[in-house]
């Protein structure tokens, strides 16, 4: 099972260092030197972390074999993933891997089924893509006030949404 842990950003300096946009709460574990990362780049399907450091609150990585800025520029925008055991759970009980959420029933506080989580969309704010029973999809911001409960073992996500939010779907 693959878990997205980051995305390669802009180069940092001229020796092959790169900024990484984090998608994990465990950067020291996921980006430790020697860690192999799976990429979504066909030309370079895997990279290995040679060094990591923090600079002005941003994670800077150096990959084995990447020695200059032009090589890093070719990797800009590449998504980084790691292989995890399907039974692994994040250390924080309020955190979830995408694969734990996809397929869960989405219900309102009274228990009425509103749809099914079809995807978790990552960006400036994480969103749950909800497939509606009558067709189409809607995006729900994955924030505590709107998603007060996630019960993976019960197979459901409780959402407390303002009227009409699910009607503003994508399809």
The model's pLDDT over 61-88, given as tens digits with 9 standing for 90+, comes to: 999 999 989 888 989 999 999 998 877 8
Please, where in the chain does CATH 2.40.30.60 lie? 2-83
Residue 95 near residue 25, CB atoms below 8 Å: yes
CATH number listed for the domain at residues 2-83: 2.40.30.60
Question: Which fold would CATH assign to domain 98-168?
Answer: SH3 type barrels. (2.30.30)
User: Percentage of the chain surpassing pLDDT 90?
Assistant: 66
* Whole-number Å distance between alpha carbons of 116 and 74: 37
The model's pLDDT over 112-137, given as tens digits with 9 standing for 90+, comes to: 999 999 999 877 788 999 999 988 99
Please, where in the chain does CATH 2.30.30.240 lie? 98-168
Strands 149-151, 156-158: parallel, antiparallel or unpaired by DSSP?
Answer: antiparallel
């Amino acid at each position: 099972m693959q878990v997205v842990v980051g995305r390669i950003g802009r180069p940092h300096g001229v020796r092959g260092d790169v900024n990484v946009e984090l998608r994990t709460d465990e950067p020291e574990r996921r980006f430790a030197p020697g860690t192999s990362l799976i990429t979504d780049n066909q030309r370079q399907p895997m990279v290995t972390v040679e060094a990591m450091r923090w600079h002005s609150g941003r994670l800077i990585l150096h990959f084995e074999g990447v020695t200059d800025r032009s090589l890093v520029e070719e990797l800009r925008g590449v998504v980084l993933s790691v292989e995890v055991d399907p039974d692994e759970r994040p250390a924080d009980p309020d955190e979830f891997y995408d694969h734990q959420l996809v397929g869960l029933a989405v219900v309102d506080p009274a228990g009425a089924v509103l749809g099914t989580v079809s995807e978790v969309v990552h960006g400036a704010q994480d969103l749950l893509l909800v497939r509606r029973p009558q067709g189409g999809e809607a995006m729900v911001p994955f924030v505590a006030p709107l998603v007060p409960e996630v019960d993976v073992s019960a197979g459901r996500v409780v959402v407390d949404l303002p009227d009409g939010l699910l009607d503003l779907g994508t399809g």
